[in-house]
Amino acid sequence: MDYYFIGDPELVTAFRFIGIEGTAVADQAEAVAAFRKITEGWDETAGAVLPGGISGCRVLVITEETADWLGDLLVAWQLSDRYPLVVEIPGIMGRLAGRKTLVDSIREAIGVHV
């Protein structure tokens, strides 16, 4: 499995249509549990790291809302230099207020506005 998705139930279904498995989350606790299962093999119900777990995930796609719920846990993972790489996308309700787009970030970095 190269890709995995964590986010809204509707988007989980959409990603399954294109062959990407995922986990639907509705709150912070579910988001943290799903993220730890993917990144660490941790299973909340078993209270332990499961051998094998979900392995082989190279890219983890999450919604912006899920990223907010993960907070510092996500930042620490992104700075750890380990796989899976995390990609944030807007959720089913669209982009969250105050979030920069990739284009905005590039424009800011190079200082060119066309």
pLDDT in tens, 8-66: 999 999 999 999 999 999 999 999 999 998 988 755 665 555 554 555 788 999 999 99
Quote the CA–CA distance of 64 and 85 in Å, as a whole number: 15
pLDDT of residue 100: 64
**Tokens linked to 36:** 């730890």
Nearest to 35 by CA among 90, 1, 76: 76
Quote the CA–CA distance of 114 and 82 in Å, as a whole number: 35
pTM over 0.95: no
Residue 22: its H or E element: strand 22-24
Confidence of residue 109 (pLDDT cuts 50, 70, 90): confident
pLDDT of residue 41: 76
In CATH, the architecture of 3-110 is 3-Layer(aba) Sandwich (3.40)
Quote the CA–CA distance of 40 and 47 in Å, as a whole number: 12
Q: Between 47 and 106, where is the model more confident?
A: 106
- Name 86's bridge partners: 60
